[in-house]
Every structure is written in structure tokens, then in C-alpha cells.
Homo-oligomer: A and B are copies of this chain.
Amino acid sequence: MTDLETFRAETRAWLEANCPAECRGPLDNDEDRVWGGRNATFKTPAHKRWMEVMGERGWTAPEWPTEYGGGGLTREQAKVLGSEMRRIDAQSPLSSFGIWMLGPALLQFGTEEQKKRFLPEIVRGEIRWCQGYSEPGAGSDLAGLQTRAEDRGDHWIVNGQKVWTSYADQADWIFCLVRTDPDAPKHLGISFVLFDMATPGVTTRPITLISGKSPFCETFFDDVRVEKENLVGTLNRGWDVAKALLAHERTMIGAMGDMGRPMGQVAVDSLGLDETGRLDEPMLRARIAELEIDVAAFRLSMERVGDQVKARQVSPAIASMLKYYGSELNKRRHELAMAAGGSDALEWESDRSRKGTAARDWLRTKANSIEGGTSEVQLNIIAKHLLQLPGA
């Protein structure tokens, strides 16, 4: 038995023993995710236990080094863990912007002290993080941000406002872009800082979306004290940290194009087949087939990009391509899902429509091509970095 086979056998046994039955099978809905944090809520006590046992092993962040609380697994081992979890349909023990976003940034840019302090509590789900990038009026022009940090010796005083901060009202800490040099060119006077959302002067207000949900907040900073030790990376070079992180986010959002049941089956469930065995809406059928071709090709493209990245055959800007295509595809997919659902899917509050799940999901997808850099911004990046077009 190779090392990897041994690892697989042990992992399988451990998961069997430790993954509670309640934490197996698909999530009923997005609200049931485990986010951790000081005020964590859990669907069942088993979900809490599942987060904790996985966190102890570092398997919520399997590839992070053990000295920072991570699992210390190799990429191959992490894949085995993933496939064994899928085998028993195990739910994710922890959803976390700390794991997805801040962690990779700290591992790359943080001081030893910062890594030791922040990473372990992220792994264990003790602290929930949110991201403070966008500002009202800035939109795609992220670097035009106005939130300013005044130097007061050993700390800064931060004033300003962020918007689109996901779950800011439930987060414990924020990683945040602030302007530390108002006189520098706009990309050069920005720093990447961390602070506690419980600091006096921080307030949040949820934003209701067209889907009726409020995952996002406006977040206000009024004379908020931020310690200088919580600067990540170099002063006034926070844009580098942010860019690295954004590329990461783009890949994640782009991957949405990869989700869900085949649209043809969704449509057949709703509309049935005609006497020739074809979907009983010929025009919709043609659109669905085109979509399924694009979905299949996009999935393969994600796989290919992964392999190209590994083989160092491609620029990191390729993430913009996946972000752009994946989010546009996901929007198209949900337009077709609504057409397949017909009037049933238009019911906003009935139990039949599960309180308008399809419609709310459809509306939610419209943000895919806006958040994490709009489709237009991705196309600009492709034109500039991948095609080297002049003036792009």
C-alpha cells in the first residue's frame, strides 16, 4: 500500500467515525451553511461538533501548514480528503471568508506573528471575517476608494464607508482597504489592514437585494482605532495584497457556472416530453442544448486552466476569463431555469415554489457579473494582459 493509499484508508475510517449523519447529504438551502464566529449559529448540535472536530484536525484548511493550525496535507492528500468527503456526501464543515480569502493573503503577505495569531482561529471557526473593499460611488473603480486612515503614531484613525461587505453584520473582524497616503497616485496610497468589528465607531446596515435577501451591508467607520501591527504587507502597497486576493475571488465566483442539475432534466421535470420524446417546448429545448454545450465546455475549460496553471503555461490573468464566462453562463442558466419553471417559478412566497427559490436564485445570479470585478472589468483585463491590446 502506498502512503497515499494508507492515507485514504485512514481518512475514510476517520470520516466514517466522525462525520455525523446530520452533516451528510445536500444542504436544504444556503442559510444552513456553517459560518462559525463568536455568535455562530448551527442548524443542529451535530453541525457544531462537525466543525469542531474538523477544525481540530486542521481539515477545514487542509493544505495550510500545521504550525498555523492547518491540516498540513499535500495537494494529493487534500484531493483524497475531498473525494472521501464527497463519497459520504459530507457537508462542508465551515464556510469562511477567512479560509477562502484572508488566509491565502496572510500566508503570502503576513508577518509570522500575524499568521500565528489569526490563522488558527480561522481554521477552528472561532472568528468570522468580512471583506471591506468596495465603497459607495466607486463601483468598478476599486482603487478610487476614499476611506482614509490618519496616522496617529502607533495607530491609525479610520473614517469612511464601505458597501457590499458580505455578512458584515455577523462578522467579528474585517480585512479592509484604507487610504493611508491621500497624495499618492490612487493605486499607491492604499493599505490593507485588519480590525475588530466590535471596535467603537463601527456600524453596519444590511442592504436588501432584489432577491429579497440581505447578505450585504453598508459599513460605516467613525473614528475607528486600528493598531499598526494589524497592517498586512507593506504600507501604501495594499493594492498588491488586494489584487492577489481578487484573482482568488474571481476563480471562486467563476466556478458558479459549474453548479447544479443538468438544465435539460430540470426542464423535463417541469414540462415533460412530447410524443417524439423531445422536450415539449422546441424553442426552449434548442436554447437548453446550446447552454449545456457551453456548460460542458466551460467545465472542461476550468479543468484545463487548472492544469495550465500547474504547468505554468498561462498568465494569472486567465482567472478573469473564467470569472467572466462563468458568471455570464450562470446568468443564462438561471434565465432558462425560469423559462423552464414557467408561471410556477414566478410564485414568490408559496410553499410550492419553496418561497420563490428559483426566482430568488435567478435574481441573485445577476450579481455574479458585478461582484468581484464586473464583466466589463474582466474584459478590460483580458484585453490588456492576455491580448496586449494598445491602450487597454
Residues of A at under 8 Å CB distance from B?
275-276, 278, 282-283, 285-287, 289-290
Contacts and interface: CB of A to CB of B under 8 A. Distances in A.
Nearest to A289: B283
The 4 closest A-B pairs by CB, nearest first: A286-B286, A283-B286, A282-B282, A276-B276
A286 B284 CA distance: 9
Contacts of A285: 282, 286
A285 B286 CA distance: 9
Contacts of A282: 278, 282, 285-286
Max chain B Cβ within 10 angstroms of own Cβ: one of A275, A285, A286, A287: A286
A59 to B, nearest CB: 47
A133 to B, nearest CB: 28
A389 to B, nearest CB: 15
A282 B277 CA distance: 13
Contacts of A289: 283
12 contacts: A275-B276, A276-B276, A278-B282, A282-B282, A282-B285, A282-B286, A283-B286, A283-B289, A283-B290, A285-B286, A286-B286, A286-B287
Nearest to A276: B276
Contacts of A290: 283
Contacts of A275: 276
A278 B274 CA distance: 13
Nearest to A275: B276
Nearest to A278: B282
A285 B285 CA distance: 11
A287 B276 CA distance: 20
A359 to B, nearest CB: 25
Contacts of A276: 275-276
A290 B287 CA distance: 12
Given A275-B276, A282-B286, A283-B286, 9 more contacts: A276-B276, A278-B282, A282-B282, A282-B285, A283-B289, A283-B290, A285-B286, A286-B286, A286-B287
